[in-house]
Chains A and B, each alone.
Chain A
Amino acid sequence: MSTLELGAPRSMYRSVRKYAKIYRASLVERMAYRSDFLLGTVLRFLPMITTILLWQAIYKGGEDSTQAGFRLNEMIAYLLLTNISRIFSSMPGLAGGIARDIREGTLKKYLIQPIDMIGYLVSYRMAHKTAYVVISALPYALLFYVCRGFFDTGWPDLLTWVAYLVSLILAFFVGFYFEVCVGMVGFWFLEVTSLLYIVMTLNFFISGHMLPLDFLPPFWASFLKALPFQYMAYFPAVVVLGKVRGQDLAIGLLGELFWAIFFMMLARTLYTRGLRRYSAFGG
Chain B
Amino acid sequence: MPIIEAQGLTKTYKVFQKKDGLLGALRGLYHREYKEVKAVDDVSFTIEPGEMVAFLGPNGAGKTTTLKMLSGLIYPTSGTAQVLDFLPWKREDEFRRKFALVMGQKNQLWWDLPAADSFQLHREIYSLPLADFEKTLADLTELLGVQKLTRQAVRELSLGERMKMELIAALLHQPEVLLLDEPTIGLDVVAQVAIQKCLREYHSQRGVTMLLTSHYMRDIEALCDRVLVITHGKLVYDGPLVGLTDRFGAEKLVKLLFDGPAPSDLGRFGEVTKVEGPTVDLKVERTRVAEVLGAILDAYNIVDVSVQDPPLEQTIAKVFQQAEPANVDA
Contacts and interface: CB of A to CB of B under 8 A. Distances in A.
A24 B25 CA distance: 11
Contacts of B25: 28-29, 31-32
Contact of B22 (A27, A34, A37): A27
Contact of B18 (A32, A34, A37): A32
Interface of B: 18, 21-22, 24-26, 28-30
A32 B23 CA distance: 11
A37 B26 CA distance: 13
Contact of A34 (B21, B24, B28): B28
Contacts of B22: 24, 27-28, 31
A37 B28 CA distance: 13
Nearest to A35: B29
B22 to A, nearest CB: 5
Contacts, number: 20
Contacts of B29: 31-32, 34, 37
Nearest to B30: A34
Contact of B28 (A24, A27, A32): A32
Given A24-B22, A31-B22, A34-B28, 8 more contacts: A27-B22, A28-B24, A28-B25, A29-B25, A31-B26, A31-B29, A32-B29, A34-B30
Contacts of A27: 22
Interface size, A (range): under 10
B79 to A, nearest CB: 32
Contacts of A34: 28-30
The 9 closest A-B pairs by CB, nearest first: A31-B25, A34-B29, A28-B25, A32-B25, A28-B22, A32-B28, A31-B26, A31-B29, A27-B22
Interface in A25-45: 27-29, 31-32, 34, 37
Contacts of A31: 22, 25-26, 28-29
A105 to B, nearest CB: 16
A34 B25 CA distance: 10
15 contacts: A24-B22, A28-B21, A28-B22, A28-B24, A28-B25, A29-B25, A31-B22, A31-B25, A31-B26, A31-B29, A32-B25, A32-B28, A32-B29, A34-B30, A37-B29
Contacts of A37: 29
Contacts of A28: 21-22, 24-25
A247 B287 CA distance: 99
A31 B23 CA distance: 10
A60 to B, nearest CB: 42
Contacts of A32: 18, 25, 28-29
A24 B20 CA distance: 12
Most buried by B among A27, A29, A34, A37: A34
Contacts of B30: 34
A163 B303 CA distance: 96
A41 to B, nearest CB: 13
A31 B28 CA distance: 8
A31 B21 CA distance: 11
A32 B22 CA distance: 9
A162 B266 CA distance: 87
Most buried by A among B18, B22, B24, B25: B25
A37 B24 CA distance: 17
A32 B21 CA distance: 11
A37 B21 CA distance: 19
A170 to B, nearest CB: 28
B32 to A, nearest CB: 9
Nearest to B26: A31
A27 B22 CA distance: 8
A28 B22 CA distance: 5
A233 to B, nearest CB: 30
Contacts of B26: 31
A34 B26 CA distance: 9
Nearest to B24: A28
B16 to A, nearest CB: 9
B258 to A, nearest CB: 53
